Amino acid sequence: MVGVVSTAVSGFVHPALFYRDEAEYVGVAVPFIRGGLAAGEPVAVAVPRPRLRLLADALGADARRTTMIDMSQAGRNPGRIIPTVLRAFADQFPAQRTRIVGEPVWPGRSPAELPACVQHEALINFAFAGRTLTILCPYDVSALDEAVVAHARTTHPVLVDRDASWESPDYDPDVGLRAGNTALPHRPPSTEVLFSADTVRAARAYAVARARRAGLPERRVLDVELVVSELGSNCVAHGGGRGSLWVFVDDGYLVCEVANAGIISDPLAGRSPVSPDESRGRGLLLVNQLADLVRVHTTAETTTVRAYLALD
């Protein structure tokens, strides 16, 4: 018996598919996709490129009726998956039930990325509460660390494998939020640049110069300028009028870290689309769009944001 993803319910459904090989992957995902197409539901598949090709081949002509997205590119930064992949698709069909296969965690994700992935999976449950949508999230349990799979059990209310589906006894998205809000990795020795409203431009110029010295491709130097500008402006506006900046190289990335005394109270900050008439709320959203990875650590007193931009 092939595990069945139930969509015969109203509202939002968020199952995790635990698969061990390509046959199990295709055996659950393809019927899920075809079931949506048969029901007249818009369907998107957002998975890493090798899996995208696998599903496209298995779907045959049905692949042309499905929106296919390379998650390894579109979702490289987990912080932009909700606004630019999931909501960008689902919001096109506000009056219809939609289906998405979304695989944000795959073997090869770095240790720095995994907490952001857990946080993303937890936030999906809040971002789409009440929506008529099913998001099936595959997990390669043969290759992923057991801790990653354990987190999937806390961030998904329903679990599916090749044989069955069942309610997760460990489901608690707040646990996933706390797991994603872990202390950031140790920062290598680097210069702290203090800034205020009067000196945020100087901090931005320092980051640009540091990016060029580190060898960041010139086409991405503007991204650094915008990232530091947005994070610095947020510090000035919401963090007591001042902040600290560090810029350093770590494991193939240029990292811009900004810390301040402000607190991010909305866990979906930076992941919710902003309407054109809104004058606020764009800063962290833009940072998520520009960076290859964004990590946020919030305590009762401070917020620290790290934006990673690949040097290659």
* pLDDT, tens digit, 9 for 90 and up, residues 40-79: 999 999 999 999 999 999 999 999 999 999 999 999 999 9
Residues 120-127, mean pLDDT to the nearest whole number: 97
Residues 221-232, mean pLDDT to the nearest whole number: 96
Last residue of a domain, one of 133, 156, 180: 180
Within-domain flag for 80: yes
174 and 93 share one domain = yes
Q: What is the pLDDT of residue 13?
A: 96
Within-domain flag for 291: yes
Q: What is the pLDDT of residue 1?
A: 34
Note the pTM of the prediction, 2 decimals: 0.93
C-alpha span between 2 and 80 (Å, rounded): 32
Mean pLDDT of the chain: 93
Q: What is the pLDDT of residue 277?
A: 62
Within-domain flag for 82: yes
123 and 214 share one domain = no
C-alpha span between 90 and 224 (Å, rounded): 30
Within-domain flag for 1: no
C-alpha span between 108 and 106 (Å, rounded): 6
C-alpha span between 48 and 74 (Å, rounded): 9
Predicted confidence (pLDDT) at residue 308 exceeds the cutoff of 50:
yes
20 and 163 share one domain = yes
Within-domain flag for 35: yes
Closest CA to 56 of 65, 161, 89: 65
281 and 215 share one domain = yes
Predicted confidence (pLDDT) at residue 252 exceeds the cutoff of 90:
yes
User: Which of 5-14, 249-258, 274-283 is most confident?
Assistant: 249-258
Of the listed ranges 8-12, 75-79, 110-114, 301-305, the least confidently predicted one is: 8-12
Within-domain flag for 112: yes
Q: What is the pLDDT of residue 275?
A: 67
Using left for φ > 0, alpha for ψ between -120 and 50, and beta otherwise, residue 85 falls in alpha
Of the listed ranges 65-74, 90-99, 146-155, 266-275, the least confidently predicted one is: 266-275
111 burial via Cβ count (<10 Å: 0-12, 13-18, 19+): exposed
Within-domain flag for 199: yes
Last residue of a domain, one of 180, 213, 239: 180
C-alpha span between 197 and 229 (Å, rounded): 11
126 and 148 share one domain = yes
Q: What is the pLDDT of residue 39?
A: 96
Q: What is the pLDDT of residue 9?
A: 59
176 and 256 share one domain = no
List the CATH number of the domain containing 137.
3.40.50.300
Q: What is the pLDDT of residue 206?
A: 98
35 and 146 share one domain = yes
Split at pLDDT 50, 70, 90, the class of 237 is confident
Predicted confidence (pLDDT) at residue 202 exceeds the cutoff of 90:
yes
The full DSSP string for 139-179 is EETTTS-HHHHHHHHHH-SEEE-SS-EEE-TT--HHHHHHH
223 and 96 share one domain = no
Residues 130-143, mean pLDDT to the nearest whole number: 97
- Looking at the structure of the chain, the number of domains it has is 2
Q: What is the pLDDT of residue 281?
A: 62
Within-domain flag for 3: no
Closest CA to 113 of 206, 180, 49, 27: 180
Domain range for 252: 193-310
120 and 90 share one domain = yes
* Phi and psi angles of residue 294, each rounded to the nearest 5 degrees, phi first: -130, 125
Q: What is the pLDDT of residue 282?
A: 80
154 and 295 share one domain = no
List the CATH number of the domain containing 225.
3.30.565.10
Residues 231-241, mean pLDDT to the nearest whole number: 90
Last residue of a domain, one of 180, 211, 229: 180
C-alpha span between 201 and 257 (Å, rounded): 16
The set of residues, in sequence order, having a beta carbon less than 8 Å from that of 68 and lying 6+ positions away, is 44, 45, 52, 55, 56
Q: What is the pLDDT of residue 238?
A: 85
148 and 201 share one domain = no
82 and 170 share one domain = yes
